[in-house]
Amino acid sequence: MIPAPEAVDLADGRTLDVLLGGATDGTPLVLHHGTPSCATTFEDWHSDCLERGLRLIAVSRPGYASSSRVPGRDVASVTVDIADVLDRLGHGTFVTAGWSGGGPHALACGALLPGCVAGASVAGARMGGDDPDFTAGMAPENVAEFGAALEGEDSLRAFLAANAEPFRTVKAAEIIEAFGGLVPQVDKDVLAEGYAEVLAASMRRALQPGFDGWVDDDLAFVKPWGFQPQDIAVPVTVWQGSLDLMVPFEHGRWLESAIPGATLRLVDGHGHLSLVTAFRSEILDDLVRAAKGQR
Q: Give pTM, 2 decimals.
A: 0.97
- Say how far apart CA 205 and CA 33 lie, in whole Å: 13
Instruction: For residue 249, count other CB atoms closer than 10 A to its CB.
Output: 19
Evaluate if residue 153 carries a pLDDT over 50: yes
The answer to the question of residue 85 being in a domain is yes
Cis? peptide before 71, omega within 30° of 0: no
Amino acid 3: pLDDT: 79
pLDDT band at 100 (very low <50, low <70, confident <90, very high): very high
Q: What is the pLDDT of residues 210-238, one digit of tens each?
A: 999 999 999 999 999 999 999 999 999 99
287 within domain boundaries = yes
Q: How many structural domains is the chain composed of? A: 1
Range of the domain at 166: 6-293
Averaged pLDDT for residues 189-196: 97
How many C-beta atoms surround the C-beta of residue 161 within 10 A? 10
**Residue 107 to residues 61, 75, 210, 234, 290, Cα–Cα distance (Å):** 15, 9, 26, 10, 15
Give a yes or no: residue 213 inside a domain. yes
How many angstroms separate the CA atoms of 137 and 240, rounded? 13
211 found inside a domain: yes
Residue 1 lies inside a defined structural domain of this protein: no
CB 207 within 8 A of CB 63: no
In a domain, 58, yes or no: yes
In-domain check, residue 149: yes
What is the 8-class DSSP label of residue 229? G
Largest Cα separation within the chain, whole Å, is 50
Neighbours of 70 (CB within 10 A): 19
- Within its chain, how far is the Cα of 120 from the centroid? 10
The reported pLDDT for the residue numbered 1 is 67
- Beta carbons within 10 angstroms of residue 285's beta carbon: 13
Are the CB atoms for 252 and 264 separated by under 8 Å?
yes
pLDDT at 295 over 60: no
CA dist 240 and 105 (Å) reads 16
DSSP per residue, 173-200: GGHHHHHGGG--HHHHHHIIIIIHHHHH
Is the pLDDT score of 293 beyond 80?
no
Give the integer Cα–Cα distance in Å for 151 and 235. Answer: 35
15 within domain boundaries = yes
CATH code (residue 240): 3.40.50.1820
